[in-house]
Amino acid sequence: MAKLMQAAQLVALGQPLQVREVPRPAVAEEDVLVRPVRCGLNGGDPHLVSGDFRVSPEYLPHLKLPITIGHDPVGVVAEVGPSVEGFRAGDRVFINPNMECGRCVYCRTDGAHICTSKMLRGWVPLTAQPVAQFARYKDGLCAEYAVAHYSSLFKLPDDVSFKSACHLNEIGVAYRALLRARITHGDVVVVTGATGCTGMSVVLLARLFNPRKIIAVARDRRKLAHLQAIDPDLIETVSVLEDNLSQRLTELTDGIGADVLVDFVPRGAEVTVQSMYRLRPGGRVILAGGCTEELSISYRFLMRSSLEISSSRGPCPQDFPLLIDFIRTGQFRSSTIEVREFGLGETNDALRVFSERTGDRPFWVHILPNADLS
Ligand SMILES: [Zn+2]
């Protein structure tokens, strides 16, 4: 009889998660059995659970329930399959929740994040015909145990804490967007959605590209103040609720306009559009927030301004060792962001807190499926 474990599972859309006993997954030839220590919640998780799923809704009918949620995990290796190389029980690891095919033209170049066969664990299928071999990894990581293909693991050095490395997937999303932005020394960078789960990572990472100024745009002035306190000489803030966004961006850029807009607005496309109008001629736009609204902007303005508009999606696996090193060396200071911790049995409470985002500080939410290891 299979051993059992606890897992936070979505059994029906629109219903609370069920934290329940399910069979512990079997370890195949190239699998690693991991005990997730922490699993960060991401912006889409509450929408998936509630059924209010706006990103790629066409794939929602392909979602096979039940499914364990959670796709930003760090953990400890408990067991390895017979053909696994380079990992052993006790290793501390980040589990890349993205499964890429490794064979397509994108995976063979620098574009695994846009692999057309990509799957994200604990999430809806991202294609109508998911790769069959990925099916055994469909579950997310908010569980006492999970299997992963050994190629999806990245070792964490002893001096990188689980707490600081949780959210590497989200940090990877931010990093890819910033690479796309091609920030150069002295740029003025506007980050919208700046107090959101990924937006915070964008602000923290953007500092590494030597900009002249980072303008963090979000709703809540109190949360923005905490973000600004991380680097008051570099970070300016604009509250879209209390400030005139256009006027404030004009002031902060001396009337010239910003060089780059890294847009992580989840909703409210007018913030994106207003920010685009405040870019300098030749400025660059990276759309990465997953907003489902239409952009309404003047064709003639875009032409006359000669803006570069691009977009970005997901992290690239080859970035993770570098990002782990950013954390180890303190270049990426994840400790500046508050973390709210919840046990596996409290996952519904965690989703509620994450959605409501109450309080005056920006924060990340971590689920601790194996609290004894955290
Ligand atoms: Zn691929």
CA of 97 to the centre of ligand 1 (A): 15
SS (H, E, C) 37-51: EEEECCCCHHHHHHC
Percent of the chain residues past pLDDT 90, beyond the cut: 80
Distance CA 320, CA 18 (A): 31
CA of 103 to the centre of ligand 1 (A): 5
Distance CA 20, CA 7 (A): 6
334, pLDDT greater than 70: yes
CA of 102 to the centre of ligand 1 (A): 5
- How many angstroms separate the Cα of 8 from the Cα of each of 66, 94, 312? 10, 19, 30
* DSSP classification of residue 341: E
Q: Tell me what pLDDT residue 267 has.
A: 87
Q: Residue 231: what are its φ and ψ, rounded to 5°? A: -155, 80
Q: Can you give the length of the chain in residues?
A: 374
CA of 133 to the centre of ligand 1 (A): 13
pLDDT tens track for 57-94: 778 888 889 999 999 999 999 999 999 999 999 999 99
- How many angstroms separate the Cα of 75 from the Cα of each of 61, 144, 325? 31, 10, 18
pLDDT tens track for 205-251: 999 999 999 999 999 999 999 999 999 999 999 999 999 999 999 99
Beta bridge pairs of residue 31: 149
* DSSP classification of residue 143: B
CA of 249 to the centre of ligand 1 (A): 39
Confidence of residue 55 (pLDDT cuts 50, 70, 90): low
CA of 260 to the centre of ligand 1 (A): 29
CA of 134 to the centre of ligand 1 (A): 12
More confident residue, 29 or 335: 29
CA of 333 to the centre of ligand 1 (A): 31
Q: DSSP for 175-192? A: HHHHHHHT--TT-EEEEE
CA of 79 to the centre of ligand 1 (A): 28
**The tokens of 297 are what?**
């902007």
CA of 108 to the centre of ligand 1 (A): 7
Q: What is the enclosing helix (H) or strand (E) of 263?
A: strand 258-263
Sign of CA dihedral 337, 339, 96, 134: negative
CA of 330 to the centre of ligand 1 (A): 32
CA of 117 to the centre of ligand 1 (A): 6
Pair 16, 70: CB distance under 8 Å: no
CA of 119 to the centre of ligand 1 (A): 10
* Preceding omega of 321 cis (within 30 degrees of 0): no
CA of 288 to the centre of ligand 1 (A): 20
Pair 140, 123: CB distance under 8 Å: yes
Q: Tell me what pLDDT residue 2 has.
A: 72
pLDDT tens track for 116-157: 888 999 998 888 777 888 889 999 999 999 999 999 999 999
More confident residue, 359 or 240: 240
CA of 319 to the centre of ligand 1 (A): 16
CA of 307 to the centre of ligand 1 (A): 30
CA of 99 to the centre of ligand 1 (A): 9
Q: Tell me what pLDDT residue 79 has.
A: 98
By three-state DSSP, how is residue 119 classified? strand
Confidence of residue 54 (pLDDT cuts 50, 70, 90): confident
Sign of CA dihedral 108, 32, 168, 358: positive
Other CB atoms within a 10 A radius of the CB of residue 72 amount to 32
Q: Tell me what pLDDT residue 312 has.
A: 94
| 50-59, 207-216, 275-284: least confidently modelled range | 50-59
**Residues of 238-267 as b/e, b for ≥16 C-beta within 10 angstroms?**
bbbeebebeebbbebbeeebbbbbbbbbbe
Tokens 């002035």 label which residue? 221
Residue type for 211, please? P
